[in-house]
Amino acid sequence: MTTENDKHEMLIVTGMSGAGRSTVANALEDLGWYVVDNLPPQMLRPLVELVSRAGTSLPKIAAVVDIRGRGFFSDFQEIVQSLRKSARVRIIFLEARDDVLVRRFESVRRPHPLQGDGTILDGISAERSKLSAVRESCDLVIDTSDLNIHQLATSITERFAAADTAGVNVTLMSFGFKYGLPTDVDMVADVRFLPNPFWIPELRAHTGQDAEVRDFVLAQAGAVEFLDNYAAALEPVLAGYQRENKRHVTIAVGCTGGKHRSVAMSAEIARRIKDFPGVAVSLKNRDLGRE
């Protein structure tokens, strides 16, 4: 009888053209994954069977599947459901804003695969429409709009280097609302209900990583109560994600500028959930140093 631990691991990389699939493929290859690029969806099942015959020499495989694959949209869901019976399958969806994708295509002077006689934006719109259902079924969505190739590769390395050591990998991301909501997150917590250390002259130049700011934030009414209750609420959610094979979760914690409260509070949330069963935690401060 095949158990979950006996199954080979397959990662399917898909998403918008120009969003960084090649960069992700290269990063995974550097981490020891066996990567196959531009694979038609109908070839996913034979690939899993081939790897199964290879035994432990190819324990982790990644396939880049995109709009160029014939029959992608009609067969994809059925194929993935079938694969889950014999492999641990996860799907990464890469996306970016329309203006960013247009700029990327223009910079390499290549047409969008779906633009036909129209514009690049016409092709992007058509692709986004065709991929909408696929995006909804993905395990991880990464918005690469504000990432260069090195930052995207680093993000993949951080997410997948230790993927075998935890049931779910949680990223706590601090951010500033004045710089916009992050798009590639699963949950958002707003800690602007706490007094802002920015208005304390001796704390203004410090950050939430400094003891002075952290102690000030945690001493405020409601801070510890929020942390304890939020962590308690996350415990069954993260356990459920593991049962549903959702391996990567990003929780954004926001304050006004992403320098004081959100940095301190995200670190405290991380400290409270790091010992949950099957959970690995990492911290990311999106806007720290941006002011």
Task: Judge whether 67 is annotated as a binding position.
Answer: yes
Distance CA 22, CA 182 (A): 23
Distance CA 191, CA 253 (A): 7
What are φ and ψ of residue 42, in 5° steps? -65, -15
Task: Judge whether 16 is annotated as a binding position.
Answer: yes
User: Per the structure block, which two tokens stand in for 74?
Assistant: 């009609």
Distance CA 291, CA 279 (A): 32
Task: Judge whether 32 is annotated as a binding position.
Answer: no
Task: Judge whether 55 is annotated as a binding position.
Answer: no
Strand 60-64, strand 34-36: pairing: parallel
Task: Judge whether 69 is annotated as a binding position.
Answer: yes
Answer for the pair 25, 13: CB distance below 8 angstroms, yes or no. Answer: yes
Does an H or E element contain 7, and which? Answer: none
Task: Judge whether 254 is annotated as a binding position.
Answer: no
Task: Judge whether 22 is annotated as a binding position.
Answer: yes
What are φ and ψ of residue 63, in 5° steps? -125, 130
Q: Closest Cα partner for 127 from 90, 73, 78?
A: 73
Task: Judge whether 82 is annotated as a binding position.
Answer: no
Going by the annotation, the residues of the binding site for ATP are: 15-22
Going by the annotation, the residues of the binding site for GTP are: 66-69
Going by the annotation, the residues of the binding site are: 15-22, 66-69
